[in-house]
Amino acid sequence: MTASERAARWKRAVVYQIYPKSFRDGNGDGVGDIRGVIEKLPYLKDLGVGVAWLSPIFASPMIDNGYDTSDYCAVNPLFGTMADAEELFEEAKKRDIRIVLDIALNHTSTQHPWFQDALAQGEKRDWYWWREGRCGAAPNNWRSIFGGPSWSQPDGDDQFYLHLFDKSQADLNWENPEVRSAIHAAMRFWLDKGVGGFRLDVVTVISKEPDLRDVIDPRPAPLYRHIAGGPRLHEFLREMRREVFSHYDCIAIGEAPGVDPARAAKLVDPADPMLDMIYHFDLVAMNPVVAGPWDRVAFKRIFSAWDKGIGANGWNSVVISNHDLGRISSRFGDGSPESAKMLLTLVLTQRATPFIYQGDELGMTNAPFESLDDIDDVWAKTTYRLAREKGRTEQQAFAATVAMTRDHARTPFQWSAALNAGFSEAETTWLRVNPNHTTLNAAAQEHDGASVRAFAKQLIALRDDPLWVFGAFEDLAPDDPDVFVYARTYEGRRAVVALNLRGEAKPRPDCVPALTPILPNAGTEIDTLAPWEARIVLV
Ligand code: GLC
């Protein structure tokens, strides 16, 4: 298989993200695991996905659910054994599903032996970023992405260590070649076992200006924007390609906060490939549940900007949901099956590799969290604590926490109406199941041709046609505040997609041909788009 044939295969695939802790509990301890994923491979096959990306399965104290790694070459016992992982890779391969592992390579857990050695002033001190404080306070004004300072001073140490995320996630010093070799070795360890590639966690921040200067605006949200794309990022990624990826039939997907299309295009340029695709943050960062009304025109503009910026040269992915966000049908829709289907249509009809987050194919929704005890997310807990420290009442702090918590996406997968939604046979599960599992679940949708699941399957199958994978993209009504209308054109064929982004009927825009749709999700009137209607017509 040539490099370009391999690339075409990745471009055609639909990626399905599994959050192992919440997918299926195979051993009855209330926590999802690898045996659970093996058990559900036929479900993935039935859906038609070609790649399953697993959030981290490596050893970890699980303060950030695996994004705090304590051993890159060991399986977290919570999820199973190395033998389970190997069986998963084998079984997936038999079904033509490639397993992509998630590697948090910007930082390790502070419980990683590397950090423990650094803490003890050992040989690995320089594997992390240590700096003197300024007048007893942090060495610079960077704010952690999760809130609070991004520096902590261990008891008895005269220096602070850097952590862009939680204080339990210490940033690795990629300037040190030993760090890079150790990460490369870990990647090769898994690739030798037959995994299909990696999703590289926050990879755009691995390179930092060694002087770690203050940023102009230290508010937490834009920190990525200030520091992403550091001076040696390209060098580090080229080296990783040379040392690791170029020796395997694998894919490198970069989670890329803080870069715009022009900078991202460089990372996926086929003439000098560093990564195979980019997973940008412009859509991820949009959360109307937290930030107020949904600016639909700005939202649409993001698709055009990234398509123009990267387009056919290099490759985009389209990610509007993942384990860090509320559910799409609650974020952009009204939780109805129609809005879930419309949003799936949006994801699956772009010129980009579509990513489906587990449960989106059923239209799973945000959860009705009632108390702080229902919440596990370390970011959410920090948000609550900081809100209280700022003087917010318990009620206000809790409301802000519920709006932002990543746990909405992490409630157990809803397999059926049975105990614990068929996720686990345990008495209690690590997060409570969403009470709507009694009606919203995979089993109920299995034989229902009008279900979100059936619709998702049809959309995935649609991508067998190269028009949907490779066809040029054009926004036909960029200023329309209600409807997203775009054309996809390929070798003389043309399709038009019209998505009603509102829960009320809208007149058919003139640029949408008055033709019968191929995959209607709602409505039957040619001249009116029903609430949340997704209309695809072949011209
Ligand atoms: C990424 C992950 C997120 C994690 C963070 C730190 O954004 O998606 O879950 O908390 O990186 O590793």
276 lines ligand 1 (CB under 6 A): no
**324 alpha carbon – ligand 1 mean position (Å):** 7
Cβ contact 332:300 at 8 Å: no
Q: Would you say residue 252 has pLDDT above 70?
A: yes
Q: What number is the average pLDDT over the span 5-14?
A: 87
Q: What percent of the chain has pLDDT over 90?
A: 90
68 lines ligand 1 (CB under 6 A): no
Query: Which of 68, 255, 338, 407 is flagged as catalytic?
Result: 255
Q: Tell me which CATH code domain 3-108+181-373+413-461 carries.
A: 3.20.20.80
**223 alpha carbon – ligand 1 mean position (Å):** 14
pLDDT band at 515 (very low <50, low <70, confident <90, very high): very high
- What is the average pLDDT score of the chain? 95
In this prediction, residue 118 carries a pLDDT of 98
Fold of 113-170: Oligo-1,6-glucosidase; domain 2 (3.90.400)
pLDDT digits (tens, 9 = 90+) for 198-244: 999 999 999 999 999 999 887 756 788 899 999 999 999 999 999 99
Q: Tell me which CATH code domain 471-538 carries.
A: 2.60.40.1180
407 lines ligand 1 (CB under 6 A): no
Token pair belonging to 80:
């199973």
Alpha helices in 228-281 (DSSP H): 233-243, 261-267
pTM passes above 0.95: yes
pLDDT digits (tens, 9 = 90+) for 392-444: 999 999 999 999 999 999 999 999 999 999 999 999 999 999 999 999 999 99
Lowest mean pLDDT among 84-88, 140-144, 287-291, 429-433: 287-291
Query: Which residue among 54, 112, 204, 324 has the greatest number of ligand 1 atoms within 8 angstroms of its CB, and so is best to mutate?
Result: 324
In this prediction, residue 523 carries a pLDDT of 83
Token pair belonging to 45:
């096959």
Q: What number is the average pLDDT over the span 506-529?
A: 93
User: Domain residues of the chain, as ranges?
Assistant: 3-108+181-373+413-461, 113-170, 471-538
324 lines ligand 1 (CB under 6 A): yes
Lowest mean pLDDT among 79-88, 214-223, 461-470: 214-223
pLDDT digits (tens, 9 = 90+) for 41-66: 999 999 999 999 999 999 999 999 99
Would you say the CATH fold of 471-538 matches that of 113-170? no
Q: Would you say residue 275 has pLDDT above 60?
A: yes
**165 alpha carbon – ligand 1 mean position (Å):** 8
Query: Which of 25, 68, 201, 361 is flagged as catalytic?
Result: 201
CA–CA distance, 507 with 526 (Å, rounded to integer): 9
CA–CA distance, 470 with 467 (Å, rounded to integer): 6
In this prediction, residue 223 carries a pLDDT of 86
In this prediction, residue 220 carries a pLDDT of 56
Whether 255 is a known active-site residue: answer yes
Q: Would you say residue 366 has pLDDT above 70?
A: yes
Residue 242: partners with Cβ closer than 8 Å, 6 or more residues away: none
Lowest mean pLDDT among 24-28, 173-177, 261-265, 496-500: 261-265
Q: What number is the average pLDDT over the span 1-24?
A: 90
Whether 533 is a known active-site residue: answer no
pLDDT digits (tens, 9 = 90+) for 331-340: 999 999 999 9
**170 alpha carbon – ligand 1 mean position (Å):** 13
Q: What number is the average pLDDT over the span 148-166?
A: 96
In this prediction, residue 183 carries a pLDDT of 98
Cβ contact 358:16 at 8 Å: yes
Q: In what order do the strands lie in the sheet with 159-162?
A: 130-132, 159-162, 151-152
